[in-house]
């Protein structure tokens, strides 16, 4: 009788694809993720020399391909001649500690990956201690978002919650005070006395913050010269993040 042969399970390596010189440089500077391979053209683009400064001493996994191949890999021609395969993004395992992370940002159903990337870039520039994203009903943190953030998402602490409701519940239990960005019926954001630890909530481009969540915090509104249009979500986020960062510094 034949013995059953043991089948060896092969663990599949999961990876992300990112593109653009800034994205790759910030990933290498952050040293949070593994770089598997780089694909570029020959002759190499001028920006490649900046990447080489941060490459591990014995990195040999550089492949030279045509621009068309890079465009097919990236799904866009906005790759600046550089595409990289890297390990998956490392999200924080636990919700933030208000003592260590007093200034955080929660995004409620942002749909556009470019808006997401722009907001993440502003979050880093204004000193945000942590960002909370949601799996359900929101734009993914993909290569487009990564490049739009110019790779600065690599320097942020990012927690991925199952849903916006669970995120609010966890943050509320941790002791955060919520400030909800709304288009109308909120207090002038420039005249608010902000209390820390605080969480700024930015809603989706179409409907804003989920109605069921508005009661959880103080509603704040950016003043406008006209009321027939509103700020783009990423622009509003950038202004509010800067405003709050300045206010917090005075405490």
Question: With contact defined as beta carbons under 8 Å apart, do 203 and 210 qualify?
Answer: yes
Rounded-to-integer distance, Cα 38 and Cα 21, Å: 11
Q: What is the phi/psi pair of residue 159, to 5°?
A: -110, 135
Domains and CATH numbers, the chain: 15-87 (3.30.1330.30), 103-249 (3.40.1280.10)
Query: With 90 as the cut, is the pLDDT of residue 251 above it?
Result: no
Whether the CB-CB separation of 153 and 90 falls below 8 Å is answered with no
Region 49-73: mean pLDDT is: 94
pLDDT over threshold 60, residue 5: no
Residue whose tokens read 């490649």: 48
Residue with tokens 């409907």: 207
**Distance in angstroms (rounded) separating the CA atoms of residues 145 and 128:** 18
Type and span of the H or E element at 132: strand 130-134
Q: What is the pLDDT of residues 145-185, one digit of tens each?
A: 999 999 999 999 999 999 999 999 999 999 999 999 999 88
3-class SS at 140? coil
Residue 67 near residue 102 (C-beta atoms within 8 A) = no
| Predicted local confidence at residue 173, as pLDDT | 96
> pLDDT tens, 108-146?
999 999 999 999 999 999 999 999 999 998 999 999 999
Q: Rounded distance, CA 3 to CA 79, Å?
A: 53
Q: The whole model's pTM is what?
A: 0.91
Alpha carbon distances (Å) from 77 to 16, 19, 68, 69, 105: 18, 10, 8, 10, 31
Instruction: Assign 6 to helix, strand or coil.
Output: coil
> What average pLDDT does this structure show over 38-56?
95
**How sure is the predictor about 10, in pLDDT bands with cuts at 50, 70 and 90?**
very low
């Amino acid at each position: 009788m034949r013995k059953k042969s043991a089948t060896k399970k092969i663990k599949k390596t999961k990876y992300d694809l990112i593109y653009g010189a800034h994205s790759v440089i910030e990933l290498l500077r952050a040293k949070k993720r593994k770089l598997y391979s780089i694909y570029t053209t020959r002759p190499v683009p001028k920006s490649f020399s900046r990447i080489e400064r941060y490459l591990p001493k014995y990195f040999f996994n550089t492949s030279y391909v045509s621009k068309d191949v890079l465009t097919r890999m990236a799904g866009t021609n906005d790759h600046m001649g550089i595409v990289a395969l890297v390990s998956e993004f490392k999200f924080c395992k636990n919700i933030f500690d208000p003592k260590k992370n007093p200034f955080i940002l929660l995004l409620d159903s942002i749909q556009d990956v470019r808006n997401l990337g722009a907001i993440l870039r502003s979050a880093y520039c204004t000193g945000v201690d942590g960002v909370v994203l949601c799996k359900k009903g929101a734009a993914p943190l993909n290569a487009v978002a990564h490049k739009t953030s110019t790779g600065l998402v690599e320097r942020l602490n990012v927690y991925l919650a199952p849903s916006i409701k669970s995120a609010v519940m966890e943050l509320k239990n941790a002791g955060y005070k919520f400030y909800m960005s709304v288009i109308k019926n909120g207090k002038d954001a420039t005249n608010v006395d902000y209390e820390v630890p605080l969480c700024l909530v930015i809603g989706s481009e179409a409907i804003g913050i989920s109605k069921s969540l508005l009661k959880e915090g103080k509603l704040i509104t950016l003043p406008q010269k006209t009321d027939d249009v509103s700020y783009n979500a990423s622009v509003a986020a950038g202004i509010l993040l800067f405003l709050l960062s300045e206010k917090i510094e005075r405490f």
